[in-house]
Amino acid sequence: KQEVTQIPAALSVPEGENLVLNCSFTDSAIYNLQWFRQDPGKGLTSLLLIQSSQREQTSGRLNASLDKSSGRSTLYIAASQPGDSATYLCAVSPQTGANNLFFGTGTRLTVIP
Amino acid sequence: KAGVTQTPRYLIKTRGQQVTLSCSPISGHRSVSWYQQTPGQGLQFLFEYFSETQRNKGNFPGRFSGRQFSNSRSEMNVSTLELGDSALYLCASSQQGFSYEQYFGPGTRLTVT
């Protein structure tokens, strides 16, 4: 069974700092990987999706990389802002193409003004 | 384009009762997936519907069921509620059927007393 781990579980940084969130998965047979953010008590907002054939995706201050063979992905956030404070979740979909995502436990990010 | 909508947003039920939650996907999306989020287990996949057929199912008891209508709207039902069913229930929609980017609704917070 696919297991997804995110480290660290919580992170607190001063505003303006660049930071990296990590995601690892045990089964490299994935179709794609998605990064989400979740604000307290709310739904998930999709940030970036990386297909298994891609190495990275960028959107604004966010950059996600994928190393499928080693089962790792990173989310890089540049010049962090207080509005970035949220829980960040990564999720992988199986290579079969089925739509059941396997989620990590998340990293709770706090950006201090 | 309107996002994924879920109703109701909050629900309080008593043990032994049953509950029905509703999800309307983004227009044109035919796949709807349901997830349960709890502090202890994180986000777990319940089931996925595509073109009114359940295509994928997670590891949940038969008390959890769902259906999809011809307009792609989906409902999930939980019978004989238990305290442990208290959770945030999220639905997600995606285009086509296979591993396209998933878009989540705001969730329904279910509390079982």
pLDDT at B99 over 90: no
Q: According to the model, what pLDDT value does residue A111 have?
A: 98
Q: Which of residues 57-86 of A touch B (CB under 8 A)?
A: none
pLDDT at B60 over 60: yes
Residue B6: closest CA among chain A residues belongs to which residue? A43
Which of A3, A37, A99 to substitute to test the interface with B, most B CBs within 10 Å? Answer: A99
Q: What is the pLDDT of residues A50-106, one digit of tens each?
A: 999 999 999 999 999 999 999 999 999 999 999 999 999 999 998 877 788 999 999
Neighbours of A82 (CB within 10 A): 10
Task: Tell me if A44 and B104 make a contact (CB, 8 A cut-off).
Answer: yes
> Does A99 contact chain B (CB < 8 Å)?
yes
Q: According to the model, what pLDDT value does residue B2 have?
A: 82
> Which residues in A lie closer than 8 A to residue B23 (C-beta atoms)?
none
Q: Is A43 exposed, middle or buried (0-12, 13-18, 19+ CB in 10 A)?
A: buried
Buried b / exposed e over A1-23, threshold 16 CB at 10 Å, is ebebebeeeebebeeeeebebeb
What is the DSSP secondary-structure string of chain B?
----EEE-SEEEE-TT--EEEEEEPPTT--EEEEEEEETTTEEEEEEEEETTEEEEE-S--TTEEEEE-TTS-EEEEE-S--GGG-EEEEEEEESSSSSPPPEE---EEEEE-
Q: According to the model, what pLDDT value does residue A6 have?
A: 97
Which of B21, B31, B37, B43 to substitute to test the interface with A, most A CBs within 10 Å? Answer: B43
A14 pLDDT tier (thresholds 50, 70, 90)? very high
> Which residues in B lie closer than 8 A to residue A43 (C-beta atoms)?
4, 6, 90, 104-107
pLDDT at B97 over 60: no
> Does A54 contact chain B (CB < 8 Å)?
no
Tell me the three state secondary structure of residue A52: coil
Q: What is the pLDDT of residues B9-54, one digit of tens each?
A: 999 999 999 999 999 999 999 999 999 999 989 999 999 999 999 9
> Which residues in B lie closer than 8 A to residue A101 (C-beta atoms)?
33, 35, 43, 45, 92, 102
Asked whether the beta carbons of B11 and B100 are under 8 A apart, the reply is: no
Distance CA A91, CA B18 (A): 30
Provide the percentage of residues in chain B whose pLDDT is more than 70. Answer: 96
Across the range B80-87, mean pLDDT stands at 97
